[in-house]
Chain A
Amino acid sequence: GNSVTQMEGPVTLSEEAFLTINCTYTATGYPSLFWYVQYPGEGLQLLLKATKADDKGSNKGFEATYRKETTSFHLEKGSVQVSDSAVYFCALTYAGGTSYGKLTFGQGTILTVHP
């Protein structure tokens, strides 16, 4: 079946540090890949997405590139801020069958950024 594996957290960084959160996936077909962010006490918000190989999703300074050859979708940001502290989820949709849009999530990575 489909699965998503994220690097284990929590991740603790100082403000302005470089961030990488690793994500790899297993899927049949050609999935779309997503990063969602969950701020404390809130629901999930879509951060960025990529729908085909070599696509780069970007938003709010975050980037991730869909690498089919390594089945990866690592999240990066060049300079994190305290306000980026949240839980980050990598996810995929199985672009086939009848479950359009159903998301398979990784376990989530807690990011804490200190001033």
Chain B
Amino acid sequence: DSGVTQTPKHLITATGQRVTLRCSPRSGDLSVYWYQQSLDQGLQFLIQYYNGEERAKGNILERFSAQQFPDLHSELNLSSLELGDSALYFCASSVIAENTEAFFGQGTRLTVV
């Protein structure tokens, strides 16, 4: 158990809909990262938050947004869903520092039908 909790584990929704994925980081970790894992793109960094503020953005679509709350949990919002958004979404957390290591949750598998 990494200490990072993601909910829900599975999500099936229709095209055009909006979903919210939730992540609780390890106790004491201030930084949260979101990654997307798909068969064609592999593991792609989406966005990073540190202590409530956005720190870095990767290949995140405009239809996607995220935030980190004062209790440090984070949510990833995906809207106007398309079939191609079907993927495994991982959250990771770390103590922000150089050369740190990230601890991953078990992921949310999103299926858009």
Contacts and interface: CB of A to CB of B under 8 A. Distances in A.
Interface of A: 32, 34, 36, 42-46, 49, 51, 89, 93, 95, 98-108
A102 B98 contact: no
B105 A98 contact: no
B16 interface: no
Contacts of A44: 90, 92, 104
Contacts of A107: 42
26 contacts: A36-B104, A42-B106, A43-B90, A43-B106, A44-B90, A46-B101, A46-B102, A89-B43, A98-B55, A98-B56, A99-B55, A100-B31, A100-B55, A100-B96, A100-B97, A100-B98, A100-B100, A101-B31, A101-B48, A101-B101, A101-B102, A102-B56, A103-B102, A104-B45, A105-B42, A107-B42
Contact of B103 (A46, A89, A95, A108): A46
Nearest to B56: A99
Contacts of B45: 102-104
Interface in B1-56: 2, 4, 31, 33, 35, 42-43, 45, 48, 55-56
B36 to A, nearest CB: 11
B58 A102 contact: yes
Contacts of B55: 98-100
Contacts of A42: 106
Contact of B43 (A45, A51, A95, A108): A108
B90 A101 contact: no
Interface string B79-113: 00000000000101010111111111111000000
